[in-house]
Chain A
Amino acid sequence: MPVTSYLALGAVLFSIGLYGVLTKRNAVLVLFSIELMLNAANINLVAFSKYGLYANQTGQVFTLFTITIAAAEAAVGIAILFALYRNRNTTNADEFDSMKG
């Protein structure tokens, strides 16, 4: 059944993304990892729109929405990282620790 291989690809991408968010120190890589997680969902949607239980076009429409949203989210993420870099001169996420309690 071809859909399982797409789902496996999606699951692998999602896991890599989650692993990256949790472990990477470079803030840019953290943003990349979030994109991977969102794209894993996109692959699922497109695969389901061809091989799902009720295959139809809606999944691809959904993907168009999520691609746009992911772009907006990445833009905001990068902008916040810029502001942070200006103030702290680092992109090492481990050093963003001024609040504790």
Chain B
Amino acid sequence: MNTLIDYDWTVMAPELTIVVMAAFLSVIDLFLHPNKDRRLFMWPTLIGIVGAMCFVGMSWGKPAYQILADTYRVDDFALAFKMIMLIGTAFITVMSYGAFRKEKGFAEGEYYYLLLTALLGGMVMASSGDLITLFVGLELLSISTYILVGIRKRSVMTNEAAWKNVVLGGVASGFILYGMSFLYGLTGSTNLFTVRDRLGEALTSGYDLYAWLALFLIVFGFGFKVAAAPFHMWVPDVYQGAPTPITAFLAAISKTAAIALILRMFLIGFIPLFQGGRGTVLDEKTGGRVLLILAGLSMIVGTVIALRQQDAKRLLSYSSIAQAGVILVPLASWGPFLFPSTLYYLTGYLFSTVGAFSVLMLIERESRDSHLSSFAGLSRRSPFTALAMTLFLLSLAGIPVTAGFFGKFYILANAVVTGSPEHWAMYLIAGIMLVTTVASYFYYFAIIRMMYFRASQVEEKLRIPVGAMIVISVAAVATLGLGLMPQLVVDILGNVDWGASLAPVK
């Protein structure tokens, strides 16, 4: 019997750093005079995140370790996802500096430590080996983002966005929890590895429909969380109403965490359903088909509706629905590069999305409007920002020499490799991906056209706060760097034994 002291707690150093910093900031916030400027909270937040990044980097490549009665699992899979989320949150912390005008009823202290708790939820999701920790992590992330979306209390649009997020997020949690309850009922355990071992038995003894019900309920809830069609109707409203840094958080970090959740569930807990499920009605291909439908629909719906958007923020939110579809393709096709291609795409997507939203934030600050026409004449008002935005949009569209191109190429190759005449759905999904990518050029180029070929009403220079400047420069360099030298990241991801990171610890 292990006691709490027997565990090697150093493996949880990243999480503990974030917890300590969030607790520290919430106490300081209580004692600090209400009139004091809380923008300086950015520094402790950033220090915490960078510290956690160092700890994550230090434990990279070590064998998997399970802590707290096997509910919490630190392996390379979890560390890779944690690193992406930490980088993303660091960007969002920096870009928030000076992003908000002084306004009544804006709680800036809460803003920073809720970012940290949301990040913590994502990190818990990435490294949990148990249904309970998965659910607690998911809800920690969700509840923190409900508040963050509605943090500007006086704005009606923000309130509505927060309300829609709470209601649909709550429904999604209900579905996931209901699915998990069936999984527990069939296997009598919440440990993902025990679930895997016993689920095969349940399949053969006539309970296969319950197992499929659990899978469908969880996919349903997950569809909401990752913003995939046909569960996407909340996305544009919430993304539009939320403060722009939080929109970037939802688009980049929440999505990454949801992908980590579904990968853990599918590749550990539900694996018997994908390997010769000897069920009566549904066969082992059903799970893959469900994901293919989700991915295909997301790409088509996101792209088609984005084509007719006039609001840049809504346009980017529909584009993020289409991107969710692309990210799901590797899992749906189960190719040889499942992990590296997903993680590479998520990394590239993180830089281009956060960069694009920080440019959008600057435009919105000046014109108090996110209509496409606000981008008019940006190339004259701020050539650097226009150039960076072009780069981010090219990356999202998947045009060569950007991170997005190689990411899409990797995913496409992965899907085509798994295709065969009897596995023709892979060719279909690759086709959908190509067609929607080409169609997406139209709406991404609409913004680029606005920036370079339309005259602006205002001619004065765009004011760029130093935080946003740093984020845009770093994101632009990273987007370009990943596009020119993809092998830097691919080598790291390719050298990892992903199978070992999904095997139980002896």
Which positions in A face B, CB cutoff 8 Å? 3, 10, 14, 17-18, 21, 27, 30-31, 34, 37-38, 40-42, 44-45, 47-48, 52-56, 58-59, 61-62, 65-66, 69, 72-73, 76-77, 79-81, 83-84, 86-88, 93, 96-99, 101
Known: A69-B143, A101-B236. 5 other contacts (CB 8 A): A40-B178, A52-B185, A62-B132, A80-B147, A87-B155
Distance, CA A73 to CA B178, complexed state (A): 16
User: Is the beta-carbon distance between A73 and B188 smaller than 8 angstroms?
Assistant: no
User: Is the beta-carbon distance between A101 and B309 smaller than 8 angstroms?
Assistant: yes
A62-B156 contact given A41-B174, A44-B181, CB 8 Å threshold: no
A81-B156 contact given A65-B135, A101-B309, CB 8 Å threshold: no
User: Is the beta-carbon distance between A73 and B143 smaller than 8 angstroms?
Assistant: yes
* Residues of chain B at interface, number, CB under 8 A: 51
The 8 Å CB contact of A99, one of B154, B241, B309, is B241
Is B496 located at the chain interface by the 8 A CB criterion? no
User: Is the beta-carbon distance between A62 and B159 smaller than 8 angstroms?
Assistant: no
Distance, CA A54 to CA B207, complexed state (A): 13
Tally A-B pairs: CB < 8 A: 153
| Most chain B CB neighbours (cut-off 10 Å) among A10, A38, A44, A80 | A80
User: Is the beta-carbon distance between B163 and A41 smaller than 8 angstroms?
Assistant: no
Is B251 located at the chain interface by the 8 A CB criterion? no
A76 smallest CB distance to B (angstroms): 5
Is B146 located at the chain interface by the 8 A CB criterion? yes
Distance, CA A84 to CA B81, complexed state (A): 35
User: Is the beta-carbon distance between A83 and B310 smaller than 8 angstroms?
Assistant: no
Instruction: Give the residue name and chain of the B residue nearest to A66 (CB).
Output: B177
User: Is the beta-carbon distance between B184 and A52 smaller than 8 angstroms?
Assistant: yes
Contacts of B296 in A (CB 8 A): none
Distance, CA A59 to CA B181, complexed state (A): 8
User: Is the beta-carbon distance between B163 and A81 smaller than 8 angstroms?
Assistant: yes
Chain A to chain B contacts (Cβ below 8 Å), 20 pairs: A21-B171, A27-B163, A34-B170, A48-B185, A53-B202, A59-B184, A62-B184, A73-B146, A73-B166, A76-B147, A77-B166, A77-B167, A80-B162, A84-B156, A96-B160, A97-B160, A98-B157, A98-B160, A99-B237, A101-B310
A38-B236 contact given A73-B170, A83-B150, A83-B159, CB 8 Å threshold: no
Which positions in B face A, CB cutoff 8 Å? 131-132, 135-136, 139, 142-143, 146-147, 150, 153-157, 159-164, 166-167, 170-171, 173-175, 177-178, 180-182, 184-190, 198, 202, 207, 236-237, 240-241, 309-311, 314
Distance, CA A4 to CA B156, complexed state (A): 46
The 8 Å CB contact of B132, one of A54, A61, A87, is A61
Distance, CA A76 to CA B174, complexed state (A): 16
User: Is the beta-carbon distance between B189 and A58 smaller than 8 angstroms?
Assistant: yes
A54-B187 contact given A34-B167, A80-B146, A98-B157, CB 8 Å threshold: yes
User: Is the beta-carbon distance between B184 and A76 smaller than 8 angstroms?
Assistant: no
User: Is the beta-carbon distance between A38 and B173 smaller than 8 angstroms?
Assistant: yes
Distance, CA A101 to CA B157, complexed state (A): 14
User: Is the beta-carbon distance between A45 and B159 smaller than 8 angstroms?
Assistant: no
Contacts of A77 in B (CB 8 A): 146, 166-167, 170
Distance, CA A82 to CA B162, complexed state (A): 12
Distance, CA A77 to CA B257, complexed state (A): 22
Distance, CA A30 to CA B189, complexed state (A): 32
The 8 Å CB contact of A38, one of B146, B162, B174, B241, is B174
Contacts of B180 in A (CB 8 A): 41, 62
Distance, CA A56 to CA B145, complexed state (A): 34
B187 smallest CB distance to A (angstroms): 7
Contacts of B186 in A (CB 8 A): 52-53
User: Which 8 pairs from chain A and chain B are nearest by CB?
Assistant: A54-B188, A37-B174, A48-B185, A44-B181, A34-B170, A41-B177, A84-B159, A41-B178
Contacts of A40 in B (CB 8 A): 174, 178
A33 smallest CB distance to B (angstroms): 9
